[in-house]
Amino acid sequence: AGPAGVAVYRVLAVKRTAGRTFVAVDGGMSDNPRPALYGVRYAPRLIGRPSSTPPRLVTVVGRHCEAGDVLADEVALPGDIHPGDLLALPAAGAYHLSMASGYNLVGRPPVVAVSNGTARTLVRRESQDDMNRRDIGL
């Protein structure tokens, strides 16, 4: 199941410092805790647009502001990566959804099947309303 799944993230921000470039995406350890838990290494790829810009080493981080929220460390991505771009993480199918959580009240992602150019939602994205329904209050 692992090779069959691809996690797709949207780039939220790119931060360039003197020594490193960080690419922050709209997911992270809440939907994919495997890198933080046991060091799984992914090879993200830019999708949805071509780029002829030479690659540079970047660290892809999640949106949770935690030291362990790193999806891919020191991976080559096009130097012109910017907010709005899409990144695909191949081989995310085995445990991606089953290990997802509502950490920091970030809803779990949808699951979409794609076959012969046709996409079909299998599991819808978890909404804030879904999470609020569980809260019964005082």
| 65 is known as an active-site residue | yes
List CB contacts of 111: < 8 A, sequence separation 6 or more.
97, 121, 122, 123
List CB contacts of 81: < 8 A, sequence separation 6 or more.
11, 14, 23, 46, 51, 58
Q: Which of 65, 76, 113, 123 is catalytic?
A: 65
Catalytic residues: 65
